[in-house]
Structure 1
Amino acid sequence: MLLEINDLTLRYGRIEALHGISLYVNEGEVVALIGANGAGKTTTMRAISGLRPVGEGAIRFNGEDITNLRADLRVRRGICQAPEGRGIFPGMTVLDNLDMGAYTRRDSAGIAADLERVFELFPRLAERRRQLGGTLSGGEQQMLAVGRALMARPKLLLLDEPSMGLAPMIIQQIFDIILEINQQGTTILLVEQNAQQALSRAHRGYVLETGRIVKEGSGQDLLHDPSVKEAYLGVA
Structure 2
Amino acid sequence: MLLEVNGLCVNYGRIEAIRDITFTVEEGEVVTLIGANGAGKTTTMKTVSGLRPVRAGTIRFDGQDITHMPPHQRPVLGISQSPEGRGCFPGMTVNENLDMGAYARKDRKTKAVAEDRDRVFSLFPRLQERMNQTAGTMSGGEQQMLAMGRALMARPRLLLLDEPSMGLAPKLIAQIFDIVTEINNQGTTVLLVEQNAAQALKRANRAYILETGEIVREGTGSALAADDAVKAAYLGGDI
TM interval, short-chain normalised:
over 0.9
- Give the 5 Å matches for 1:104-183: 104-107=104-107, 108-183=110-185
Provide the alpha-carbon RMSD of the alignment.
0.7
Question: What residue number does 2:237 align with?
Answer: 235
Q: Distance in 2 between matches of 1:126 and 1:150?
A: 15
TM-score under structure 1 length normalisation: 0.99
What whole-Å deviation, never above 9, does each CA across 1:138-171 have from its counterpart, x for those lacking one? 1100000000000000010000000000000000
Which residue, 206, 220, 223 being the options, matches 2:222? 220
Question: What residue number does 2:93 align with?
Answer: 93
Q: CA deviation at 1:227?
A: 1.0
What whole-Å deviation, never above 9, does each CA across 1:100-146 have from its counterpart, x for those lacking one? 00001232211010000000000000000000101111110000000
SS in 2 for 1:86: coil
Q: Distance in 2 between matches of 1:171 and 1:29?
A: 21
Q: Across the two proteins, how many residue pairs are aligned to each other?
A: 236
What whole-Å deviation, never above 9, does each CA across 1:68-120 have from its counterpart, x for those lacking one? 10001111100000000000001100000000000012322110100000000
SS in 1 for 2:191: strand
Q: Distance in 2 between matches of 1:23 and 1:130?
A: 41
Q: Distance in 2 between matches of 1:147 and 1:156?
A: 14
SS in 1 for 2:80: strand
Aligned sequence identity (%): 67
Question: What residue number does 1:39 align with?
Answer: 39
Q: Distance in 2 between matches of 1:180 and 1:88?
A: 22
In structure 1, the gaps of 5 or more residues are none
TM-score under structure 2 length normalisation: 0.98
Q: Distance in 2 between matches of 1:51 and 1:178?
A: 23
Q: CA deviation at 1:25?
A: 0.1
Which residue identity does 2:61 align to in structure 1?
F
Q: CA deviation at 1:186?
A: 0.1
Question: What residue number does 1:23 align with?
Answer: 23
